Structure 1
């Protein structure tokens, strides 16, 4: 599966740093800096989500004459994920959060035959999986400055329970960030991520800008990875509009020629979403979200080896609308109010 995702160390900050918010016992005395601002959505413990794109076209080109070119249509592109977060340490100055994720990504092609393009036949109904474990450490230096470190390991690829080999699919990500809390409504920061937002593992920079302008309006931005304008209708309903970059990298081990001639294939993708989103409380600790918009693929390529720069197949995927739903748990109100 993917790895939500993302271009900077700060890309996952809405999920992880929210988890590190103070408990009722420390809330009154809390004077240490943190990345959150007033008006943001509630911290999440468990998140279940599903996303679907309807049909869109695909064209593939390869300089390898045995692989050749192809074209087709993807009837459905489905993504399912479960994420869970829990605090291991929650002190005023130091917070440690552990996170787990399990994700599936699937392509369903239309009109496939035994003579169809080899890559399409291999990916048809194939579950591209991602299982990840991560640890985040947030340290507040004082009431204005903080930094955090996040380390994540994932198994990304076409494995099943019967054929998984950790060394074949393991990918690591590390994030570092430093921030300044100008006020309870204004936070800025800078950071670096060593990760897979653009497919191949490399270092990406990012700038955090979180600001609440008034009780109704705010901005949550981690440039250039994402930007969202927030509108708080009330404490139970939030609206967002903005964009998000996403990337993924999957190791593939194909057993049919001609792709089986390459031992360690790697599929990398990067896309950008323009989105509208609404989050709404169902009951105290239970919320749901609906998100929709347009996804444009920036890059979708198959490489002849893991970490290689040599493209075996370059895929051109048409843009398409998408819709996603989420159901998630938050701390009960009695735990977050004085």
Structure 2
């Protein structure tokens, strides 16, 4: 209930941003004169998104070479994730777009049958709020009707902080994306890019290939390989279906007090997982949509490191695969804005 209340407060705080978000026309309207990554048939731009994800009941095993920690195993009763995201255009010209974004995420683990003798890491993570508060600035520039580039800067506070102990310098993490693309036709765009970020847990540079293509009024592909790939089916203008996969990663700075981990001071939890998914997006009313997504999540890496940015593993966690379900509610530009701009 506390987390739902927090989401409600956050939603209310973001409500004043809605008019600015809804004023943003779909990218597709400028395709004839200015290039952009979007293609015909893609879903509408999402201005404000509220998301909840749940993974039920799966096991994990932990190993450490440090004799003070040892090995452990346990059962996670549920794994919850909450998120709120809002995007608002600071500059919204056909050739140039500057988008400001805000995001709040919360991740928590609930274990089965913990007691005072349970593994220290599990006791610390039990019902612990691993949070991420982020602000981003994205710049999309159309060079011509065929070429475009994108720059995105993002700063996040990631970790187990609270209002009482937050220190920005201890939790700040930065991500930078750059991309250059070619708009071949209104139905086909490709691009190449680099990200300096945390998709694979530790901050590093990795490449990406953009491939968006609509083959006919019903079928299309949306992908930034290797991070994600989705096959799209447009049932009609109000209902879209997707299937594909998505890579996700995170890095949290934590201070595990009141356990044996406290001896190490500030440590870092890094995770990378891959999700196979199916998804449906459906209009509720004009500017209000919802989405339901489900699939299977498999962790690629889930590890604790002895200090921030270190390559020395303190604990290696093996989390079992599990099904998941996710629901979203989001706002998109209303039709009247599209009709007015045409």
Fold match (TM-score > 0.5): yes
Aligned to 1:180: 182
The CA distance in 2 between the partners of 1:55 and 1:213, in whole Å, is: 40
> Would you say 1:115 and 2:132 are equivalent positions?
no
| Pair 1:296-2:298 in alignment | yes
Cα contact 1:22–1:92 (8 A) shared by 2: no
| CA-to-aligned-CA distance 1:287-320 (integer Å, 9 cap, x gap) | 0000000000110000000000000000000000
**Deviation by residue 1:30-89 (Cα, 9 ceiling, x = unmatched):** 501000000000011100000000000000000000011000000000000000000000
- Indicate the larger mover: 253-262 or 71-80: 253-262
Look up the SS of the partner of 2:53 in the other structure.
strand
Q: Give yes or no for the alignment of 1:57 onto 2:82.
A: no
Q: 1:272-283 alignment to 2 at 5 Å?
A: 272-283=274-285
| Bigger relative CO (Cα 8 Å, ≥ 6 apart) | 1
Secondary structure of 2:45's match? coil
Post-superposition, which runs of at least 4 consecutive aligned residues in structure 1 deviate over 6 A? 19-22
> Unaligned stretches of 5+ in structure 1?
1-18
Per-residue CA deviation, residues 249-297 of structure 1 (Å, 9 max, x unaligned), is 0000121242011122000000000000000000000000000000001
What per-residue deviation string (whole Å, max 9, x for no partner) do you get for residues 219-249 of structure 1? 0011111100000000000000000000000
For 1:96, the equivalent position in structure 2 comes to: 98
Of 208, 212, 218, the residue aligned with 2:220 is: 218
2:4 maps to none
Q: Residue 108 of structure 1: SS of its match in structure 2?
A: strand
Which structure dedicates a bigger proportion of its chain to helix? Answer: 2
Are the counterparts in 2 of residues 139 and 146 from structure 1 also a CA contact under 8 Å? Answer: yes
- How much has 1:336 moved relative to structure 2? 1.5
The CA deviation at 1:23 is 3.6
Q: Secondary structure at the match of 1:265?
A: strand
Q: 1:86 to 1:92 in 2, by over 3 A?
A: same
Residue 108 (structure 2) aligns with: 106
Give the corresponding residue for 1:234. 236
Provide closer, same or farther for how the CA distance between residues 125 and 304 of structure 1 changes in structure 2, counting only shifts above 3 A.
Answer: same
Gaps of 5+ in 2: 1-20
Provide the rounded CA distance (Å) in 1 between the counterparts of 2:281 and 2:134. Answer: 25
**Equivalent pair of 2:35/2:146 in contact (CA under 8 Å):** yes
What is the root-mean-square deviation of aligned Cα atoms in Å?
1.7
Any residues of structure 2 matched to 1:35-50 within 5 Å, and which? 35-50=37-52
Q: Distance in 2 between matches of 1:77 and 1:42?
A: 30
Judged with a 3 Å threshold, the aligned counterparts in structure 2 of structure 1 residues 46 and 134 are, in CA distance, closer, same or farther, namely same
Structure 1 CA distance for aligned equivalents of residues 325 and 285 of structure 2: 23
Q: Aligned equivalents of 1:254 and 1:231: distance in 2?
A: 46
Partners of 1:117 and 1:95 lie apart in 2 by 50
1:335 is paired with a residue whose SS is helix
